[in-house]
Amino acid sequence: MRRFAVVGSPIEHSLSPLLHAVAYRELGIEDAVYERHEVGAGELAGFLTGDGAGLQGLSVTMPGKPEAFVLAAEHDGTAAALGVANTLVRRRDGSWRAENHDVHGIVAALRDHGAGTVRRAGVLGSGATALSAALALCRMGAQEILLSARRPERLAPVVDLVTTQGADARIVPWDDAAELLGTEVVVSALVAAGARAVAEEWRARPDLPVVPLLLDVLYDPWPAPLAGLLGERGTEVANGLEMLVHQADMQIRSMVGAPSAPVAAMLDAAREQLRR
């Protein structure tokens, strides 16, 4: 029996076990199981030589993504560009290959909502998700990316990444973050509390621009604060659940060798779970 798992902390509410179980069922895979393990910061190496020694692949959530990258002997192009990985696949010699499918998840979710080539885009927030969003937008053709975060000093890695991709990065002061809504696509990488504060401020603005497409990485509860506000004003909205399912699709391909995963069935199952 092949063993796979999702690791991170906290991990109790991860939807990954459900998504992978649905995929195995739909694909007729009977020789694989998918587990969940609580693995905190700095604990991944020890886990892989202990309880995780028999695993053939892992989905890695925070805080383990940087550590997963460092532990691997091989990296795909996206992981190498970002310096973080959300997937580990065991190689024939027992070492690990690190992959990053968050970028694919963002691109695919935006494509599902009609995005084509993007020229100007915006990213709200900082951190690993903002970094993935910036790379995704660059790969969709963005030539200029507006960035805004409550702590602008944390945007330095994002600026560096955008620049290395041949695009222009411009930091917009946090108080002027609504300027990002004047672009073609915005990805909000804000946590719930930050998104709620921004939505409350923006709701009072009758002149708020209407961005054509928003990807809000939040999904539970839904609608998230910014998604709800901007959706009411005419913005097409994608959510983080769609991103999660699309990146799981790529993980399943890498882990079990399937040509593709049943994305629609996985998304339906996840939505049903969140309604409970």
Instruction: Classify 125 as helix, strand or coil.
Output: coil
Report which secondary-structure segment, H or E, holds 106: helix 102-112
Tokens of 152: 């602008």
Tokens 């998918």 found at: 34
Which residues neighbour 131 within 8 Å (Cβ) at sequence distance 6 or greater? 82, 84, 157, 158, 161
Sheet containing 144-148: which strands, arranged edge to edge?
A: 168-171, 144-148, 120-124, 185-188, 213-216, 236-239
Active site residues: 65
DSSP 7-41: EESS-TT-SHHHHHHHHHHHHT--SEEEEEEE--T
